[in-house]
């Protein structure tokens, strides 16, 4: 990449390119850049209005990309802005009702974006709000039962959103479901392990796989949520405990877990989860150990890993393909 960065975001555009935004390199960044899989090259594109890290980045159904919230080194933002790939420019849109970082953003089947929880610089939040791309407005929706930050949010095949884990004066194992048709939350079964800094992936069979995370110590455990029963079951544990890692759903239905931090080390290890067997298999390592990186599944099926941090090299500009 042109800029070394960690705590950044990445999204796959409709033209097949990957947009990387913000993050930290000795301070919060407003720069953005594009990866072109056809050439393997990075090019800088328009910069965001606000420098930010720990924000969210979502590719909307209209082709634009919405960035929300985050932190600039001193302040949590309520600002949001839109990237237009046709013009390579950013335009501010209406602010969220709440400033937030360490939150989630989920694209619903109706085209709206659901933002949940996070930290506003003073307190952890249970509030949630919806962005409507057709009106560029934010609307408050039902609040979560639990306040939480560093949680996960997954859009299920039935259109509901599963929020799991996170932190609020302690690590959480609670989970809850958002119903877009009613705008309300209902509690569902709790995870076996409390955890933050974990990953959540919706498998092809509709179940949700949660991996790793932190609960006073790093976790290698993984568990599955079944939306048809609302119950969690443990599945095979990863070979490496890891948190602030990535997990990507491959076209073959397997999950690729990369990097993170675990066992007091920055990790370059990679492993694959097979839903048919419930077993993890270690595969070849990444070139660089990295945490707080991104992983994007490209249109050609390859996985692009970007940036991050390790204690040897520092903040990384490198990118690699699986």
Q: What is the pLDDT along the chain (322 residues), one digit of tens a residue?
A: 999 999 999 999 999 999 999 999 999 999 999 999 999 999 999 999 999 999 999 999 999 999 999 999 999 999 999 999 999 999 999 999 999 999 999 999 999 999 999 999 999 999 999 999 999 999 999 999 999 999 999 999 999 999 999 999 999 999 999 999 999 999 999 999 999 999 999 999 999 999 999 999 999 999 999 999 999 999 999 999 999 999 999 999 999 999 999 999 999 999 999 999 999 999 999 999 999 999 999 999 999 999 999 999 999 999 999 9
212 Rama sector, left if φ>0, alpha if ψ -120 to 50, beta otherwise: left
The alpha carbon of residue 94 and the mean position of all alpha carbons in its chain are separated, in whole angstroms, by 22
The pLDDT, as a whole number, for residue 103 is 98
pLDDT of residue 254: 98
Find tokens 């759903």 and name the residue. 249
CB 236 within 8 A of CB 273: yes
Phi, psi of 160 (to 5 degrees): -75, 165
What is the model's pLDDT at position 313?
92
pLDDT of residue 213: 98
Contact present, 72 and 55 (Cβ < 8 Å): no
Residues 6+ apart with CB under 8 A from 237: 220, 221, 222, 280
d(CA 306, CA 296): 9
- C-alpha 121/C-alpha 101 separation (Å) is 8
Cα separation, 114 vs 105, in Å, equals: 5
Tokens of 153: 């949010």
Can you list the domains of the chain with their CATH numbers? 53-321 (2.120.10.80)
For residue 298, give the nearest of 38, 1, 88 by alpha carbon: 38
């Amino acid at each position: 990449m042109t800029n070394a960065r960690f705590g950044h975001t990445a999204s796959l555009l409709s033209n097949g390119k990957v947009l990387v935004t913000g993050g930290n390199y000795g301070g919060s960044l407003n720069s953005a850049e594009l990866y072109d899989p056809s050439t393997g090259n990075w090019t800088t594109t328009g910069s965001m209005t606000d420098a930010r890290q720990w924000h969210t980045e979502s590719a909307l159904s209209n082709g634009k990309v919405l960035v929300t919230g985050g932190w600039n080194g001193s302040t949590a933002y309520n600002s949001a802005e839109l990237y237009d790939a046709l013009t390579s420019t950013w335009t501010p849109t209406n602010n969220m009702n709440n400033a937030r970082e360490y939150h989630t953003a989920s694209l619903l089947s109706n085209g709206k974006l659901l933002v949940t929880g996070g930290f506003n610089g003073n307190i952890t939040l249970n509030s949630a709000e919806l962005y409507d791309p057709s009106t560029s407005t934010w609307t408050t929706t039902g609040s979560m039962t639990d306040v939480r930050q560093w949680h996960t949010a997954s859009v299920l095949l039935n259109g509901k959103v599963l929020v799991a884990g996170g932190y609020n004066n302690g690590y959480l194992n609670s989970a809850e479901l958002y119903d877009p048709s009613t705008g309300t939350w209902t509690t569902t079964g709790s995870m076996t392990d409390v955890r933050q800094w974990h990953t959540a992936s919706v498998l092809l069979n509709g179940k949700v796989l949660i991996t790793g995370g932190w609960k006073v110590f790093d976790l290698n455990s993984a568990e599955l949520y079944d939306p048809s029963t609302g119950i969690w079951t443990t599945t095979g544990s990863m070979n490496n405990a890891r948190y602030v890692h990535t997990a990507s759903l491959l076209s073959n239905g397997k999950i690729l877990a990369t990097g993170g931090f675990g066992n007091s080390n920055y990790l370059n290890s990679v492993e694959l989860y097979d839903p048919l067997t419930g077993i993890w298999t270690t595969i070849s390592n990444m070139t660089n150990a990295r945490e707080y990186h991104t992983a994007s599944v490209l249109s050609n099926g390859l996985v692009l890993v970007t940036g991050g941090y390790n204690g040897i090299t520092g903040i990384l500009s490198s990118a690699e393909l699986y």
